[in-house]
Amino acid sequence: MINPIDKDKVAENPGLIAYPHTIGSAIIKPENVGKIKSRGLSVIYKQTDMGKLNRLKTKRSGVC
């Protein structure tokens, strides 16, 4: 039996590389963690008034 997968187009250890391991794989883009956090905080500020947010912060700091 002949293997239909071309070894030149597939990575040996696909879980260890930071890019797609086959030609047809989805694009993997690294994320900017600071950008994601700032977007999350801006949504929190829009959806919550400051009184509620301060109570949540004090609860969180008491738990940790």
d(CA 7, CA 35): 38
Full-model pTM: 0.31
Find out whether 23 and 32 touch, Cβ atoms under 8 Å. no
Reported as a pLDDT band with limits 50, 70 and 90, residue 57 is confident
- The tens digit of pLDDT for each residue in 1-50 reads 787 778 787 777 777 777 766 677 777 677 777 888 888 888 877 777 77
